[in-house]
Amino acid sequence: MVYPVYVKNYPTPDFDKREILRYAGVKGDISAINALIDECIKELDGKLNYKVCYSEYPVKILGDKIDLTFTTIVSKDLAKNLKNCNRFILFAATVGIGIDRLIAKYIALSPTKALIFQAIGAERIESLCDLFNNEMKEKYKTVKPRFSAGYGDLPIEIQKDIFIALNCSKNIGVTLNESLLMSPSKSVTAIIGIANDSDCTDKNGCTACNKTECEFRRENEN
């Protein structure tokens, strides 16, 4: 059976300066950094493209072994995440290559500005994923936290199968190199389980990941 892949373009999500500051690791007096963030956001105008491609698949779970239809994987953490699901959404999202070019430009000219662009890029792709996630919540009502390769014990190698299933290069212009790094760098792939009942949670992001040592982990999540 062929599972269709859908492609969506999104308008610019609202910027969340608090998240940008968090990704930049800024604490204390933020007045000077706020002005630099505004400058960087202005420079980004018209340079980002918010795109998502996605498909829906059935899923079968037997212990820690998961049949995702497009591949079979062993992952205790993903099995836990997909508990009480018999289908899921597979998606890939990107904000395009524009911000990568600005980061590369400013690494030599202004390392501080390059850092801010890195932080804005992280906030941008998460905002896009949140938009898509919220659409799935509205459509399916009960969805699980999105879960990406590298979360918990889900091996990063699954990216190869994801890119084939979604044809990311053709559909949204995202490629995967031999080291399993995505280009554009501000891109994400993830799985969103569709729960059979109310056994789900609105939490995602840090709550879905057990890497408590991550320097970007939100302080109000555990």
- Determine, yes or no, domain membership for 146: yes
Three-class secondary structure of residue 110 per DSSP: coil
Lowest mean pLDDT among 6-10, 39-43, 59-63, 193-197: 193-197
Peptide bond into 184 cis (omega under 30): yes
- Structural domain total, the chain: 1
User: pTM of this prediction?
Assistant: 0.87
CATH code, domain with 157: 3.40.109.40
Please check the confidence at residue 3 and state whether its pLDDT lies above 50: yes
Using CA atoms, how far apart are residues 209 and 177, in angstroms rounded to an integer?
24
Within a domain: residue 140? yes
Predicted confidence (pLDDT) per residue in 121-131, tens digit: 999 999 999 99
Instruction: Tell me whether residue 218 is in a domain.
Output: no
Residue 1 lies in a domain: no
Angle at which helix 17-24 crosses helix 111-140, to 10 degrees, equals: 130
> Which pLDDT value is given to residue 199?
54
Range of the domain at 129: 6-208
The CA-based diameter of the chain, rounded to the nearest angstrom, is 56
Q: Report percent pLDDT > 70 for the chain.
A: 88
**Dist CA 188 CA 209 (whole Å):** 15
pLDDT band at 132 (very low <50, low <70, confident <90, very high): very high
Q: Is 213 within a domain?
A: no
Q: Is the predicted pLDDT of residue 202 greater than 50, yes or no?
A: no
